[in-house]
Every structure is written in structure tokens, then in C-alpha cells.
Amino acid sequence: MTAENAAGAANVLVVLSGGPGGAGESLTKAQLELLAAGRLLGTVSAASTAPVSEGARAQLAENGVAAVYTPEGADLSAYLVGPTAAWLADVVSAVGADGGGHAAFGVIVLDNSSEGKEAAGRLGVRLGAGVVTDVVGLETDGTAHKSVLAGSYQVRARATSPVAILTLKPNSVEAAPADAPGLATITPVAVPEASLARAARVVARTDKPASGRPELTEANIVVSGGRGTDGDFGPVEELADVLGAAVGASRAAADAGWVSHDLQVGQTGKTVSPQLYVAAGISGAIQHRAGMQTSKVIVAVNSDPDSPIFEIADFGVVGDVFKVLPQAAAEITRRRG
């Protein structure tokens, strides 16, 4: 497939990792965004790495999905990435070879999680396809926008290969219903056995207690705490909960053991780009700013007026986290009556 027919007419494969499957689960917000992004580029089919429930299939149809490919013969969640990439390559070649008038996929869209990027990378080698990661915006011809060097540069990049692989960050494209429903016909594709022999197997898995809050990288609002909380995340969590926000943390707070490392925002943690980022008791070291400075609106509360976080804050409060955050939380509750 060439660049010409990638323009608005490509067949797009959207990869939905980890489901939707199981007990009547529905699509996540990030998955709906991936499907909306796919529709910008052409006709969307989906490859779900887990079985698809009937409810989720109906939802995929509503989102304009033409066909849904599901794995058969092995549970991909029992392995890290290698078999997933091999299976996706087989999905692409099975569709390309069906001779039924279907063109092969010109664009493959995955999520930008570490697993999504790893699958994209390995699939790229298998298909001889260029991979653009960390995509935050798309043009209809497949040109991708991304921000690099910790958000300090905006880059337009594209795959120059016949097939393009893109990994899309959450909150980059608005989820929206499709103009026309798709058939969402389910087609099982066997997981290639050879890929299982040389794969990393998950031998134990322990779920951590769910916080009930939105997932950090997907959240519209993030409230993060740092050293200035002195280990008491109470005010941070209180404000997060009235805002319906995810809780994040600086590396100092995570290293101190105050919160789990998977809440860490920054160069060695998560990159977030929410509508609103509240940094509470965070000085704003460059490694932290690398993970959050593309947020639309930044609010900082810190008792030290010289904190570098104030250089990038749209609204900064020089003050005590333990006074300002609870007052703000109470005020929001009051205004909502």
C-alpha cells in the first residue's frame, strides 16, 4: 500500500491490548480514542489480544469496526510481547492473503504503553514497517505529531515504509461515535506456536489493590505530591477525589516509599499530558518536568517561592500544601452545592 491510498482510504488495524474481554467488560476510554484515531485514517478493523465479549463486540460495531481478529490456541497474556507481535504479523498476512478484495493494512495503531511500544517495535521488524511512537496528533495522510526531548520539541514524523505503525498517547484524539456502524465480525487467528517456544512466560501475577481512581496516563486531571507532603498524601488524595483525578508523585516521594513507584511521573516514570496537572509540594526538577510539562494547564503549590516548578506553572501558590489543598477541595465541594 502506498502513501497515496493511505490518505483517507487506508485499511487501519487498531490493536486493543488486554481485551476487551472477560466478564462483559467494555472498551476503555483509551481504546475508544485509538478507534477514533484509526477512523481519521481510514477503515478500521481491530485486533484484540484477548477474547472479546458479546457486549464489547457490539461496542466495537458501534465504533465503526469492520472486522475483529482474536487470538486462538494460546493465551497471549501468559507471555510478554514476543508472541503478541508474531500473532499480529499473522493477522496482517492472513488478511492480506485472503484474496477477497481486502487490501492489507496500510496503518497499524497501538497504544503507547510500554507493552504497546514493544509490540510495535517487534511487529515493525517482522513487517519491515516504520514505527512512530509517542504520537500526540495525526494528519489524515498518516503524518504524526510527537513531542520529544521531554516535551521541549514538537516533531512531525512519518513512516516511509508501505505499512506505517503508530503508537498513540492517551488524550491525543477525542473519542467519538462513528458515523456508521461496522459489522465487527469476529475472526479467530491462531497464535503461531513457534513464537511460544522462545518467549518470556509470566509465571506469577499479583494484582495490586485498585485505587478506584482513573489510570494515571489516561486521566484528564492529575494531582501529584512530592517531598513537600512529608509523606502524608491525604491532602493530595482529597483534592484528587473531588476533581475525579488520578494521583501521581515525584520520584522523591516514590523513592521515599510514600507511594507506589507506578505513580511516579517523570523521565523514569510515567509521562502524562492531562488537561490539568496539579503539582503539590514538588520542586520541579527537570526529570519531573520531563513527565508533565505538556499538560494543558499546570498548577503548582509549594512553600518555596524559588521552586523551578513555578517557571512553568499557569497558576502558582506559594503556600503550605496542608492548608491550600484542603481549602481548595472544600471550596470545590461547596460550589457544587
- Shortest Cβ distance from residue 226 to another protein (Å)? 17
- Amino acid at residue number 23: A
C-alpha cell at 158: 512519518
Q: Which stretch binds another protein (CB under 8 A): 40-48, 58-66, 181-189, 209-217?
A: 209-217
Q: Report if residue 204 touches another protein, rule: CB under 8 A.
A: yes
- Answer for the pair 277, 151: CB distance below 8 angstroms, yes or no: no
Q: Which residues, 6 or more positions from 255, have their beta carbon under 8 angstroms from its beta carbon?
A: none
CB of 180 to another protein, least distance (A): 32
Is 59 labelled a binding residue?
Answer: no
Task: Enter the DSSP assignment of 25.
Answer: -
What's phi and psi for 57, nearest 5 deg? -65, -40
Interface of this chain with another protein, residues 54 to 83, rule: CB under 8 A: 80-82
53 vs 267 by CB, closer to another protein: 267
Kindly state whether residue 128 participates in binding another protein, applying the rule CB under 8 A. yes
17, 28, 147, 224: which one contacts another protein (CB under 8 A)? 147
Tally of CB atoms within 10 A around 282: 31
Q: Is 306 in the site for another protein (CB under 8 A)?
A: no
3-state secondary structure of 110: strand
Residue 286 among known ligand-binding residues: yes
Q: How far is the CB of 284 from another protein (least distance, A)?
A: 12
- Taking CB under 8 A as the criterion, the residue among 130, 137, 181, 192 binding another protein is 130
Please count the residues of this chain forming the interface with another protein, following the rule CB under 8 A. 93
* 335 labeled part of a ligand binding site: no
Rounded CA gap, 78 and 275, in Å? 35
Cβ at position 83, least distance to another protein in Å: 10
Restricting to residues 260-299, name those near another protein by CB under 8 A.
Answer: 260-262, 267-268, 275-276, 286-287, 290, 293-294, 297-299
Smallest gap from Cβ 80 to another protein, in A, equals: 6
Distances 315 to 117, 189, 262, 296 between C-alpha atoms, Å: 34, 52, 27, 12
Angle between helices 114-127 and 82-96 (to 10 degrees): 50
If one asks whether residue 246 binds another protein (CB under 8 A), the answer comes out as no
Distances (CA, A) of 336 to 221, 240, 318, 323, 333: 18, 15, 26, 20, 5
> Among 4, 174, 179, 207, which residue interacts with another protein (rule: CB under 8 A)?
207
Residue 44: what are its φ and ψ, rounded to 5°? -100, 130
Could you list the residues known to form a binding site for FAD, using ranges.
Answer: 227, 250-251, 264-268, 281-288, 302
Binding-site residues from annotation = 227, 250-251, 264-268, 281-288, 302
